[in-house]
Amino acid sequence: MLKRFLAYPSTRGRDLDDPQTTELRRRILKDKAFLRRLYVEWYRNILRDLPSGKGAVLEIGSGAGFFQELLPEVITSDVLPVSGLSLVLDAQALPLADASLRAVVLIDVLHHLPDVERFLVEAARCVRPGGVIVMIEPWVTAWSRWIWGRLHHEPFDPDAESWTLAGSGPLSRANVALPWIVLERDRGRFEQRLPEWRIAALRPCVPFRYLVSGGMSLRSLMPGWSFGTWRWLERRMQRWMNTWGLFAHIVLCRTDSPGRTESHSSADGAGSPVGNRSARP
């Protein structure tokens, strides 16, 4: 009943896997001042973690966001054919040349991927040594278990044994706990199976602001002008984020360990990170 009451009117009954829903969420993000300010903060934090030097930056799951406003040269992409993208792609089979990227950026994406390990192996092929994956993803804490389990519309199963997801819908298929499962609960397995990646930073964060913003699906509970007050409160809580964090800021660094997949680069990818733009909308 609470979720129905708080639901953003224009999102009620929408199919998450319909590209028009992503277009709608882009408009929502533009209109909700509080939520937009949070995304600006996330984007700026991500920019600080991008390495300098050669290689492009790929954003996966760009659909509703506006990271390109802060980094115009970013390669934007999504699994759905929405407007304004550089590429429509499968994150598990990137149409990019080997070692052509210095970074991959994701916000709220990893927990939708049907096979996280396959994505990380493929990303290791495309990201040069010293490059990074930078993510903002849902996280599991004592506080977030209650929020994700009771108020959020996506599946939440921190006890799932598998790193893979069932179902066919690219956005409706999800496990909000998946980033935590892979990088925290199963960290030993991650380090053993994916030596190409080292966890360089993992910071739980944002216990309240996303919640009171209403996110993409719920009504905003706070006006935009109150954003600074909520940010001040969360900064004072920094030492308790392992208990209260709703998300985590994650940086994976590409090591010098050799990749395990054969090259997918193509002739027309030489000199450019993009090996195939045929899926461009």
Is the residue at 277 inside a domain? no
Residue 267 lies in a domain: no
Structure token digits, residue 191: 């380090």
pLDDT, tens digit, for every residue of 193-252? 999 999 999 999 999 999 999 888 778 889 999 999 999 999 999 999 999 999 999 999
More confident residue, 218 or 54: 54
pLDDT band for position 124 (50/70/90)?
very high
- Using DSSP, state whether 61 is helix, strand or coil: coil
Residue 26 lies in a domain: yes
Domain that holds residue 181: 2-258
> What domain count does the chain have?
1
Give the pLDDT band (50/70/90) at residue 82.
very high
Residue 116 inside a domain? The answer is yes
What is the rounded CA–CA span in Å between residue 48 and residue 194? 25
Position 100 pLDDT exceeds 60:
yes
Nearest residue to 19 (alpha-carbon basis) of 69, 70, 62, 56: 62
**Is residue 278 assigned to a domain?**
no
**279 domain residue, yes or no:** no
pLDDT at 264 over 50: no
Judged against a pLDDT cut of 60, whether residue 270 lies above it is answered with: no
* Domain presence at residue 82: yes
Taking CA atoms, 83 is separated from 22, 63, 218, in Å, by 10, 8, 24
Query: What's the distance, CA 87 to chain centroid?
Result: 17
Residue 86 maps to which CATH number? 3.40.50.150
